[in-house]
Amino acid sequence: MYLTYLRRELAGRKKQTIIVAAGLAIAIALVIIVNSLAAGVRDAQSAALASVYGVGTDLTVSGAQAEPGEGGGRPSFQFGEDGGTANEDGSTTLSQSQLMTDFRRGTLEATTVDTVAGIDGVAAASGALSLTNTTFDGELPDMSGAAEGEAPEEAVPQEGGQGGGRAGFAGGDFEVDSFTVLGIETASSEVGPLSSVELVDGRLLDADDAGQNVAVLDETYATSAEIAVGDGIDVGGSELEVVGIVASASSEADTAANVYIPLDVAQTLSGAGDVVSTVYVQAASSDAIVGVQDALEEALPDATVSSQSDLASTVSGSLSSASSLITSLGTWLSVIVLAVAVALAVLFTISGVSRRTREFGTLKAIGWSDRRVVGQVAGESVVQGLIGGVAGLALGLAGVLAINLIRPTISSAPSAATASGPGGGAGPGGGMPGGGGPIGQAAQAAADITLNAPVSLTVILLAVGLAVAGGLVAGAIGGWRAARLSPAEALRSVA
pLDDT digits (tens, 9 = 90+) for 282-311: 888 878 888 999 999 999 998 888 886 666
Measured CA to CA, the distance from residue 385 to residue 379 in angstroms comes to 10
Task: Indicate whether 452 belongs to any domain.
Answer: yes
For the chain, the C-alpha Rg in angstroms (whole number) is 33
Q: Are residues 240 and 143 in the same domain?
A: yes
Q: Distance between CA 304 and CA 279 in Å, rounded?
A: 10
Let me know whether 21 and 118 are in one domain.
Answer: no
Residue 428, in any domain of the structure: no
- Residue 117 is classified by DSSP as H
Per DSSP, helices labelled H in 274-369 are: 289-299, 308-312, 317-324, 331-355, 357-365
Instruction: Answer with the one of 268, 302, 336 that is the final residue of a domain.
Output: 302
- Asked if residue 371 and residue 482 are part of one domain, the reply reads yes
Opening angle at CA 489, ends 484 and 492, nearest 5: 175
Q: How confident is the model at residue 161 (pLDDT cuts 50, 70, 90)?
A: very low
408 occurs within a structural domain: yes
Q: Which tops the pLDDT comparison, 348 or 76?
A: 348
Q: How confident is the model at residue 483 (pLDDT cuts 50, 70, 90)?
A: confident
Quick check: pTM over 0.95? no
Asked if 343 and 266 sit in the same domain, the reply is: no
Average pLDDT, the chain: 74
**Residue 368 reports pLDDT greater than 80:** no
Q: What would the pLDDT profile of 404-428 be if each residue is shown by its tens digit?
A: 888 777 655 544 444 433 333 333 3
Burial of 285 (C-beta count, 10 Å sphere; 0-12/13-18/19+): exposed
The number of folded domains in the chain is 2
323 and 460 fall within a common domain: yes
In a domain, residue 309? The reply is no
Cα–Cα dist 276/212, whole Å: 18
User: Which of 244, 268, 302 lies at the terminal end of a domain, its last residue?
Assistant: 302
Mean pLDDT of 65-94: 57
d(Cα 12, Cα 4) in Å, to the nearest integer? Answer: 12
Residue 426 located in a structural domain:
no
In a domain, 430, yes or no: no
330 and 287 belong to one structural domain: no
Query: Does residue 39 share a domain with residue 139?
Result: no
Give the domain range for residue 342.
2-49+319-412+447-494
**Same domain flag for 291 and 325:** no
Question: How far is it, in rounded angstroms, from Cα 433 to Cα 421?
Answer: 14
How many C-beta atoms lie closer than 10 Å to residue 149's C-beta?
Answer: 5
Dist CA 182 CA 99 (whole Å)? 11
Span 188-242, pLDDT tens digits: 767 777 777 889 999 999 989 999 999 999 998 999 999 999 999 999 889 999 9
What is the per-residue DSSP string for 196-245? GEEEEEE----GGGTTS-EEEEEHHHHHHHT--TT-EEEETTEEEEEEEE
Please check whether residues 280 and 330 belong to one and the same domain: no
Mean pLDDT of 67-92: 56
From 236, 268, 302, the end of a domain falls on 302
Indicate whether 159 pLDDT > 50: no
CB of 91 closer than 8 Å to CB of 140: yes
- pLDDT: which is higher, 15 or 269: 269
304 Cβ contact list (under 8 Å, min separation 6)? 61, 62, 63, 64, 65, 422, 423, 437
489 in a structural domain: yes
Decide: 311 and 438 in contact? Cβ < 8 Å.
yes
Q: Given pLDDT bands bounded at 50, 70 and 90, which one contains residue 154? A: very low
Name the DSSP letter for residue 132: E
Q: Are residues 399 and 372 in the same domain?
A: yes
